[in-house]
Structures are given as structure tokens and as C-alpha cells.
Amino acid sequence: MSVETTALDTADCACLSPAEVRDDFPALSRRVGDYPLAYLDNTAATLKPRAVIESIARFYADCPANVHRGIHLLSEEATDAYESARGKVARFINAPRADEVVFTRNTTEGLNLLAYSYAMPRLKPGDEILSTVMEHHANIIPWQIVAEHTGCTLRFARIQPNGQLDLDDWHSKLNERTKIATCAHVSNVLGVVNPVRELAQAAHRVGAVFIVDGAQSAPHMPVDVRELGCDFFSCSAYKLLGPFGIGALWGRYELLESMPPYQTGGSMIHTVMLEGTSFALPPQRFEAGTPAIGDSVGFGAAIDYITGIGMDRLHAREVQLSAYLHHRLGEVPGLRVIGDWYPGKPGIASFVMDCAHPHDVAQFLNEEGVAVRAGHHCAAPLHTFLDIEATTRASLYLYNTEAEVDQLITALGTVREIFS
């Protein structure tokens, strides 16, 4: 595998320099024993800038009241904060309407919501759902449950040896019985970017809706749901510098309007009587109970932060550092990256080493301050498909540097030395 290393000098690049942002992240000053922290586990969760942390603290200090326009001042402020955050998410993904954005706990909850509210009432025996073998469990298991309950058939498109989706296989499995097609926009293990626009068009031609798992794309590249042409898009705040506990599900209004609620209770109703209840319009219909208001403020602040930097600049920088990461990994003997590098590959590199098991690798990397993740990364079927037990995964975000990649490579040298 040869990796083009275009100019590694960031001064030449019209992209972000990590020096612009690193001081904003308090966790980056942590040390692991004698070593500086090299946080390369961004696919799992990202660090938080002060602006996000402070926005949440300020909310809790100033107006931690409940939403839904309670007449008093603090409630108005809380409602404005919550709805303003919703607007920010809508603009971030270029949704046509803010009321097409439902706040969820995370990407997983968004996909579960679709399984229960969109799929369960609609699908019947003979209908099909098309997913892929590379999916995160959140985009597999809810559909397994749907198949079990409705009698529909769940199918999985394969990947090619280089990690890319096997488009021939995908198209051959898409047919007029397909009612839902879904895939990850970016694979959390392989780092491949799926051609969502093309897939959504193909899905629509057979009368299927297209659902995008956007957990790994929304943080790392410009996302425009209108341009993608998908019907639903689910993502998480904590993967784009926001707090844990909140995410967003975007869906076409006419589809959301046709769906029954997912959870029921307060806030999502129109009229409630003992004899029966009618439900609110979207998005409130899908937001039962008191929401994570403080976290929505943090979500909005995170979006402000990364849009302030510019998603194009952020993306360009990440692609550049990803090339460097893959280039250096390619120099380590006995190390194989799963999912070939290609120009533009996101900063996700999952790999195996001949000499040591991923958990032992991660253990020694931690000894030298390098944070990576080891295991199946909630993509066990993918690992089974590849006949690999587990992988070690390094993943980048805007604050990572070439020096941190070098730190990783040095630590891998230690692993080789100890295990040979």
C-alpha cells in the first residue's frame, strides 16, 4: 500500500492547523505518567472545548428551568436555548426545516426510533431491509428486531477486500421488495465513505426509504441532507465535541408526520383524556418527557465551534493527517491496516499486528500516553466477515498532530520490541 504524502507542512494547506485549537481543550494538557496524552480515540468520543463546557455550566447556573414555554422568564430562556440548539443542528446539516430535527440520546436511539416508529408499523412478510456487513451494531440489531417482529427479511451487502462497499452486491440485493435501505455514511472501523447520494437515489427508484447512520460523518465533513438525498440521518453530539447524552435524528417532515410515537408521556401530546390521547406534531411527538436541555445547549455550542472553524478546513486537515497516519503505519513491519488507504480517507485506521493481540497493543500504547481502542468496536459481524478476532483502532480529530502520530508509531515500536 503506497500512500501519497502531499505536503505535510500545514502552512501550505488551506486547512486547519491544530495549533489554532489545541489550547481550547483542557483535556489535552493531561499527561499519562511521563508522557503527554496522544488522544487517538476520537471515533469513540471526542474531547471538549472550553466553550462547550462553559455553555453547559452557564445554562445550569442561569436558567435550568423546564422548557415548553412555561410563562416565567427562566422557562422562556430555557425553551429558547433548546429550540435555538435545534435550529443550529438543522442548519448544520442543511435541513429544510428545524422541525425535522428530533433530539435523541445518541445515534443509536435515533436508529431505534426509526425501527420502532417507522419500520414496525409498516413492514410485512415479504418486505426487505437492506443493511451492510460493515455496520455498527446500532444499524444492525434494531433491524433484526424489526425482522423478527414483522416477518420481513433483513439482508446485508458485502464489502470488497479493500474495505469499500461492494456496490454490485448492494445493487443486486436491492429490489422492489426493499422498503428500507441503510448504511453508515462513514464506517467506524474501515474509515470508508459510502456513496450515500447514489445509494439513496437507487433506493428511491425501488420505493425504499434511505436511512443514514451519520455518527462518523457529521463530525468530520460537511453534511447536507438535501444534497445527500437521504430520508433520515442520525448522529451524536459527543462525537463532534459536544456532551454525552444527546444526539439528533433528522427526517423528512412528511415521513415523521406519518409515524406513531416512539416513547410516550409528557411533552409529546396534543390532548390527553383517560379514554385516549392524541399526539403532538413532529418533532415534539418524538421527544417524550423532559429533554436534556443543558446538553442541547452544549450540542449547539459544539456546532458553533466547529462551524466557526469551517467544516471544509477541518475535513481537509483531517484527510491530510490521515494520509500521514496511514503512511507511518505502513512502515511498521507486521502491521496491517484493515480498510485500504485511499486519497481522502477519513482519519480512522483499524489494524492488526502479527506479534501481538489488540488488547496487548492498546495496553502498551497506553503506557506511552497513546489512547486507542481495541476490540470489535461494536462491529462484531464485520470482524467475523473479515475473519479477524479484534483490531486496534486509532482515530483522529481536529486537534491531533503529526507528533501524536509519531508518538503512536514509537509506541508500536515498543510493542514489537517486547513481543518479538
- Pair 349, 43: CB distance under 8 Å: no
For residue 418, state whether it binds another protein (rule: CB under 8 A).
yes
For residue 367, state whether it binds another protein (rule: CB under 8 A).
yes
- Residue 185 or 377: the one with the smaller Cβ distance to another protein is 377
Query: Measured in whole angstroms, how far is the alpha carbon of residue 95 from the centre of its chain?
Result: 17
Residue selected from 143, 250, 262, 364 as contacting another protein according to rule CB under 8 A: 364
**Interface positions, 28-57, toward another protein (CB under 8 A):** 43-45
Grid cell digits, residue 324: 500521514
**Which residues are 370's β-sheet partners?**
38
Closest separation between CB of residue 419 and another protein, Å?
7
- Pair 347, 318: CB distance under 8 Å: yes
Closest separation between CB of residue 149 and another protein, Å?
25
How far apart CA 407 and CA 369 sit, in angstroms, is 8
**Interface positions, 337-356, toward another protein (CB under 8 A):** 356
- Residue 43 or 117: the one with the smaller Cβ distance to another protein is 43
Per-residue binding string, another protein, 368-387, x by CB under 8 A, is -----xxxxxx---------
For residue 419, state whether it binds another protein (rule: CB under 8 A).
yes
- Residue 323 or 353: the one with the smaller Cβ distance to another protein is 353
Q: State the pairing for strand pair 128-132/178-184.
A: parallel
How far apart CA 294 and CA 353 sit, in angstroms, is 43
Whether 378 sits among the annotated catalytic residues: the reply is yes
- Pair 240, 302: CB distance under 8 Å: yes
How far apart CA 102 and CA 42 sit, in angstroms, is 24
| Amino acid symbol at 306 | I
Report how many helices (DSSP H) and strands (DSSP E) the chain contains, helices first. 13, 17
Count of residues of this chain found to bind another protein when the rule CB under 8 A is applied: 25
> Max alpha carbon distance in the chain (Å)?
72
Where does this chain touch another protein (CB under 8 A) — which range of 116-124, 250-258, 264-272, 359-367?
Answer: 359-367
Closest separation between CB of residue 260 and another protein, Å?
31
Tell me which of 13, 63, 230, 378 is the catalytic residue: 378
- Residue 6 or 363: the one with the smaller Cβ distance to another protein is 363
| Amino acid symbol at 308 | G
Question: Catalytic amino acids?
Answer: 378
What residues line the site for another protein (CB under 8 A)?
43-45, 188, 356-360, 362-364, 367, 373-378, 389-390, 393, 414, 418-419
